[in-house]
Every structure is written in C-alpha cells, then in structure tokens.
Amino acid sequence: MAKADFLERVRRYSFLLILAGALYMAYGVITEKVSIIVGDGYRGVYNSAWIGMLMAICCSTFLSLCGFYVVKNAVERDSTTRVGRILAATPMSKRLYTVAKTLSNFAVLAAMVVVLMAAAVAMQWIRPEARPISLWKLWSPFLLISLPAMFVTGSVALLFETLPVLRSGVGNVIYFFVWTFGIVGGAETGWVDATGLHILSRNTREALEKMNLGDGKSSSFSLHIGPERAIRTFVWNGIDWTPRLLVGRLMWVGAGLGLAVLASVFFHRFDPAREKVREKRVKTKKATDDSSLIVEPARLELQRATLTPLSRRGHSRFGGLVLSELALMIKGLRWWWYAVAGGLLIAEFASPTADARAGVLLAAWIWPILVWSQMGCRESRFATESLIFSAERVVYRQLVALWTAGVIVALIAGAGVGVRMMLGADWQGVAAWFAGAVFIPSLALAFGVWSGSSKLFEAVYTVSWYIGPLHHLPSLDFMGTSEASRSPGLYLGLSATLLLAACLGRRRQVAYA
C-alpha cells in the first residue's frame, strides 16, 4: 500500500516542482544566502562535516514545514477519488492503513533529502575550501537528523488528516505555529529537538571553546537567511555520534510510529454512515429554514418563469458579480473571525510607529489566508465546473471578478496601514502596500487554478510570509515591511504574470470541461 501510494505521487508534475524547490534551497546554501553563524561571527570551514550539517539542518527545518503541506493529502485523496470506500471493503485494518500512509509520506520527503545529499557533494566540489570529500561526514547528518525529522513530519501530517478540525485549512495554519514553537523550543531546550538544531548548536559552541575562540558570553547560534555572512571561520570536524545521540534520534522514529498508530484511533475508515449523518443534519437544517416558504395550495399562484440576463446593453453587472464572489469567499466565517480582523484593523490605525504598523500588517495579511486559498479551486472542490464553465465569457468575466474580490479583501484587511501611509505622504510605502495587496490574491488565484487545491497556496504563502516579510528578506518581502526591501514594480509585474497564468489555466480547464 505504501509503495502504490508513493508511485502515484511521484508520477505527478507537482513532485517535480517539489524537487525543484529542494534544489533551489541547495542553491541558496551554495551561494551563502542560507548560512549558520556561531558565536561572535564564526562559521565552519566548508569541509564535508560543515556542509553536510548545514544542508541537513536546512532539510530538517524548511522541509519539515514545506513537506507537511506537500504530503497532507493522503487520506483526502482517497476520499475524494472514492478509492477509500473500495479499501474499506477489504480486510485492511485501520492501523495498517495509517502506518502505510505514514511510510508513503516519509518516502516522498526522503526523496527530497536524497536530492540534497547529492547536492551536498556538488557543493563541496564547487567550493574547494577543504579536501578530501568524506561521504560519512557529509551524509551522516542527513541519515541521522534529516530522515528522522521527515518521518515525524509525515506522521504528524497523517495525524492532522484524521482529526476533524485539523484536517481542514485551519490545521494548515495551526501547524505553522506548532512548527515555529517546536523550532524555537527545540533549539533552546533540546526537549523537542526533532530538527537537530540543539545538537548542532551545542556541539559547535563546544568546539569554539576548545579552540579558545569563544569567551563564554558569545554563545549565540543562528540560522540566517539573506545577505548577512560570517566574518570568521573555524575548523569543525563534525559530531561524535555517541550511542546516546543515536538512541535519541531513533526515539524520534519511534515517536513517528506512535503518532501513526494514534492516527488509527481517529481514522474513520471511510465510513459512509458519518457522511450520511452529516448530510442528514444539513437537510434537516435546510428543511427548517425553508419551512417559512411553504404556502397553502389555495393561495398558490402560478407565475411565468423568467431568467435574469447576465448582462444588458448599456448596463454591466460586473459589480454584482464581484459582490457575489466576495460573498462566497467570506461565507461561513464565524463572528470571532470578524472580531480578530476588526481588532487588527484598529491596531493598524492606532499603532504609533511604522515598525509597529508593519508588524500588525504581517498578522492582518496572514489572517485571511483561508479566504484567499479557495480562489480558483472552488469549482474543483465542489464539482461545479460544468455549471460555471458553461457561462458566457467565464475566463475573463468570472475570473477577473474573483480576483477583484480577493484584492478587496486584502485592501480592507490592511486599510489602516495604507491610510496612515497616505496621511504621512509615504507614497513609496503606499505603492509597496498596494503591490502586496494585489500580489497575494494573484498568487492564490494562479495556484488555485493550476493545482485545483488550496494546499499549494497555503504552503507557499505561509513559507514566503515567514522567510520574506517576517525576516525582512528583500528578495521575498512582498509586503514591503522595511524601506530597504520595497519593490512595488517587481510585485506588480509578478501579479500581472500570475493573473495571465490563471487566465491561461482557466482557458485550459474550459476547453477540457
């Protein structure tokens, strides 16, 4: 079962996109856009030990975030394709299913690790700071740190799919904060150090102290993303893998297996009775809501049915279409969602400094992520392609209306920052703010149309938000949170490109519908 699921995934174009992302991360390490700085501006000489550990840490940190969104679709895919009901009719046990899906998730993530293992050899060959190449020192961090971290990630993704609330987009957002707290807590305490950050930080600081390069006060350890580089180097020969460390890493594999077995407790085994109960509740509620529409037969008057035309000569209904798309996007949101959004909007107006407003904008433009993520894929999710795609000029009318509704959500969510910039005559900031408001829904629309799912946007946007605006990385700061990273022209151009890609993708969908 694990082999079949893995082969089904690697035969998709999305798998090639995943490998391309892993290679891009390796390129960032080679060009020192991603680096580790220890103590008072030190980094290790690029020998086999340092290169292997650096790329392994990138694997266990970034791939544990991106990889979660990639593999969190195993149970959902079987449910939507109705394969799950076929499996439910077999003697397959729930525990067998969850363990097999966990192994499949791990195999997909391990494939990315293997690509980075090969890239690590190429990196030491390209940057000849130290010779010779030691494969054990180069690959042991991947085997003992990255692979256990990927196994835990795959098991957590499956557990989230079996839990009622966490299987939805809410779980995708919650995992980001769980991942953040896990990274910080693991690096500081080592209790939940699935990524191996605590092992590396402790080992490198001890190496500096043995060389009399650390004064005991400069004991910092940080993973940097951006142009900042270390100014000094030291020779680091790798980690001494003692039995205690090996047992600690193997315990994470055991923890992953435990999570896979735990997921079997919550797994519903594609029981159609649960779906019938949910459908029955919906029908009961609908019947209750429609009871007021019932009229007596004596009072019933037949009227001639008429259809409202989509457009009239001299009168455009584009505004009504935008409002309809906006209503669909925000339909089902609870009162507390609006309360949080309103609180963030008030904080934008009340923040006294530009840095404070930028921080609030970060929260304000991550909060509606589930509103934007449904753009372009709602038709695929609810199987309404034949109805929507049969409309007149659906590519340019409905798609542009949907994009406009997404931009309106972004403008309203960040209105406080935009108004304060206008009042302060910060027109460059206004341009960057407007470019970000246009770029986010453009990205959501293009990814939704081409992938047919909301997960791709949720994964890419969350990671980009974390790396770019949150860490002020100029090349990915689409919000322009700092003056040095404002590039409104770049993101307006990217928005136009993404909108064109969405139109081409929708034309392709209409042609094959």
CA distance 410 to 426: 19
Range 340-347, long-range pairs (CB < 8 A, 24+ positions): 340/367, 341/367, 341/368, 341/413, 344/413, 345/412, 345/413, 345/415, 345/416, 346/416, 347/416
Residue 375 has pLDDT above 70, yes or no: yes
Residue 58 has pLDDT above 60, yes or no: yes
Cis amide prior to 441 (ω within 30 degrees): no
| Of 290, 196, 299, 306, nearest in space to 241 by CA | 196
Contact 406, 445 (CB under 8 A): yes
Burial annotation 122-151 (CB, 10 A radius, 16+ → b, else e): ebbeebeebeeebeebbbbbbbbbbbbbbb
| Angle in degrees, 0-180, between the axes of helices 169-189 and 64-71, rounded to the nearest 10 | 150
Q: What angle do CA 346, 471, 23 make, to 5 degrees?
A: 135
Q: What is the mean pLDDT of residues 327-355?
A: 87
SS3 labels along 162-219: HCCCCCCHHHHHHHHHHHHHHHHHHHHHCCCCCCCHHHHHHHHHHHHHHCCCCCCCCC
- Tell me what pLDDT residue 496 has: 93
CA–CA distance from 363 to each of 19, 356, 469, 478 (Å)?
30, 11, 11, 14
Confidence of residue 297 (pLDDT cuts 50, 70, 90): low
More confident residue, 217 or 511: 511
Question: What is the DSSP pairing of strand 42-44 with strand 232-234?
Answer: parallel
Q: What is the mean pLDDT of residues 47-70?
A: 84
Residues 346-369 pLDDT 10s: 998 888 888 788 888 888 999 899
- Tell me what pLDDT residue 148 has: 93
| Of 196, 208, 192, nearest in space to 156 by CA | 192
Residue 321 has pLDDT above 90, yes or no: no
Q: What is the mean pLDDT of residues 52-69?
A: 84
CA–CA distance from 132 to each of 32, 47, 199, 327, 398 (Å)?
21, 8, 25, 63, 60
Query: Which of 29-38, 247-256, 394-403 has the largest mean confidence?
Result: 247-256
**Ramachandran category for residue 383: left, alpha or beta (phi over 0 → left; psi -120 to 50 → alpha):** left
Confidence of residue 119 (pLDDT cuts 50, 70, 90): confident
Query: Which of 183-192, 309-318, 422-431 has the largest mean confidence?
Result: 422-431
Q: What is the mean pLDDT of residues 161-182?
A: 82
Report the run of H or E that residue 44 belongs to, with start and end: strand 42-44
CA distance 26 to 50: 14
More confident residue, 129 or 170: 170
Residue 205 has pLDDT above 60, yes or no: yes
- Tell me what pLDDT residue 282 has: 46
- Report the DSSP beta bridge partners of residue 232: 42
CA distance 174 to 100: 25
Asked whether the whole model's pTM tops 0.85, one would answer no
Contact 468, 477 (CB under 8 A): yes
CA distance 433 to 365: 11
Residues 6+ apart with CB under 8 A from 375: 329, 402, 403, 406, 441, 444, 445, 448, 457
Contact 372, 484 (CB under 8 A): no
Strand, helix or coil at 511? helix
Residues 421-452 pLDDT 10s: 898 888 888 999 999 999 999 999 999 888 88
Residue 279 has pLDDT above 60, yes or no: no
CA distance 65 to 93: 30
The overall average pLDDT reported for the chain is 81
Q: What is the mean pLDDT of residues 236-240?
A: 84
Q: What is the mean pLDDT of residues 478-503?
A: 86
Query: Count of alpha carbons within 13 Å of 201, Cβ hemisphere only?
Result: 19
More confident residue, 271 or 403: 403
- Residue 446, classified by CB atoms within 10 Å of its CB into exposed (0-12), middle (13-18) or buried (19+), is buried
